[in-house]
Amino acid sequence: MSPRHLSITGGTPLKGEVRVSGAKNAATKELVASLLTSEPVTLTNVPNIGDVEVTLAMLKHLGAKVTRTGGRVTVHASKLKTFAVTEAFSRKNRIPILLLGPLLARFGKAKIPALGGCKIGARPVDFHVEALRKMGATIDCNGVYVASAPDGLKGAVIELPFPSVGATENVMLAAVLAKGTTVIQNAAVEPEIVDLAKLLQGMGAIISLDVNRTWVIEGVESLHGAKHRVIPDRIEAASFAVAAAVTGGDVTIKDAQQEDMLSFLNALRRVGVPFDVQEDGIRVRGPARLDATTLETDVHPGFMTDWQQPFVMLLTQAEGVSIVHETVYENRFGYAEALARMGANIQLHKECLGSKACRYKNKNQRHSAVIVGPTPLVAANIDIPDLRAGFSYLIAALIAQGTSKITGIEHVERGYENILGKLRRLGAKVKVT
């Protein structure tokens, strides 16, 4: 397929209603969970995005039967034919590593190729590997992860060095069928993980969230089929909220969940963006003036790192000096350079410019940003490097003077369903050639 070129002409306020799709970062993990039973698992509200495509292709390759009608996907993994994920699925996203638990449960062994995903830092999987070793697996990693646990995995007390989303999910997926009880301390508690736990409980798992970021999972003999609705995507919801605010628009974001977005909505309020929480969504309007702010990304319930890119985009239009301290990834401001070419004033710093020092103090990583605004933006030619940065560029183009030419839209389509259609329905001037 030849690369598509996108033209976006800025200057139109976004108006109307948009419905957010199911969350990528819940749906993909829940599809993996469906391998833990030989009975059918049906998920609804599954987004039609690149990362779901890749995950379903991987499940089919392992031998699962997949049926899909719109957002309804049934995975029936009655028999799996291989424990080895081939190189073809290597470097596409971060999902394959999560197959370790289910494949060890089904086969006592697993072979997983190198991981991909957005280039936003080193993104090692040492916590995953250490935790599964503690549960009795032998794992060699020489480019390919080769794991075995011929006598099955056993419960363990695992304290994660950092509340990693993927490592928490991996241990959870491995623990539901392990012998005995697993306790994950300093675990991640993101809404997408709670959603995964809800599916697993629906499949027969015994799983609870204790105080102080602790998951307790009592292993059971087997799991059964279940039906589950994937939670709405709070990253997509926040991205549209920023697009509405910064274009001076008025958008009702259907299915946006206030309880999963408290820290984002607080940040919107601090910069002066009016919003109303409604029964089935959140309405966001463009303010007369945006105020500068300071914020720090953090694990849930903090301000999530995936909201950082659209929010920095918003801050380029705020009056005064804003500071954003990224504490989850060491290298998540790469997109700032293209925004600077469009006229934004963003300086990156190696110091922790937040209220507390983070893991990247003295690590020589540019993980704090100072944004001086407001700066008018002008159209540019942009090649999208990754998913979340990609949406920020689309927002930048929506307010820039002139027509921006954009390539690499497939990165955005990995994570946002029908993104161009949704933007057009809100009035954005978007053309694809």
Residues near ligand EPZ (CB under 6 A): 24-25, 94, 118, 121-128, 162, 164-167, 188, 304-306, 328-329, 387-388, 415
Residue 51 CB, shortest distance to ligand EPZ, in Å, is 7
Both tokens of 105, joined, read 């449960």
Is 94 annotated in a binding site? The answer is yes
The rounded Cα 190 to chain-centroid distance in angstroms is: 10
- Residue 94 vs 425, nearer CB to ligand EPZ: 94
Residue 170 CB, shortest distance to ligand EPZ, in Å, is 9
Residue 235 CB, shortest distance to ligand EPZ, in Å, is 6
- Residue 255 vs 326, nearer CB to ligand EPZ: 326
Is 429 annotated in a binding site? The answer is no
Q: Which helix (H) or strand (E) holds 405?
A: strand 403-407
d(CA 268, CA 174): 38
d(CA 139, CA 166): 17
d(CA 145, CA 323): 39
- Residue 99 vs 379, nearer CB to ligand EPZ: 99
Residue 11 CB, shortest distance to ligand EPZ, in Å, is 28
Residue number with the smallest Cβ distance to ligand EPZ: 166
Residues assigned a catalytic role: 118
Backbone angles phi, psi at 151, to 5 degrees: -95, 15
- Residue 33 vs 290, nearer CB to ligand EPZ: 33
The CA-atom distances, in angstroms, between 360 and each of 122, 255, 278, 306, 369 are 12, 35, 39, 18, 14
Q: Do residues 28 and 34 lie in contact, with contact meaning Cβ atoms separated by under 8 Å?
A: no
For 1, the 3-state DSSP assignment is coil
Residue 334 CB, shortest distance to ligand EPZ, in Å, is 13
Both tokens of 374, joined, read 């407001």
Q: What is the 3-state secondary structure (H, E, C) of 204-236?
A: CCEEEEECCCEEEEECCCCCCCEEEECCECHHH
Neighbours of 341 (CB within 10 A): 14
- Residue 295 vs 328, nearer CB to ligand EPZ: 328
Q: Do residues 400 and 370 lie in contact, with contact meaning Cβ atoms separated by under 8 Å?
A: no
Is 383 annotated in a binding site? The answer is no
Binding residues for UDP-N-acetyl-alpha-D-glucosamine: 94, 306, 328
Task: Could you list the residues known to form a binding site, using ranges.
Answer: 24-25, 94, 306, 328
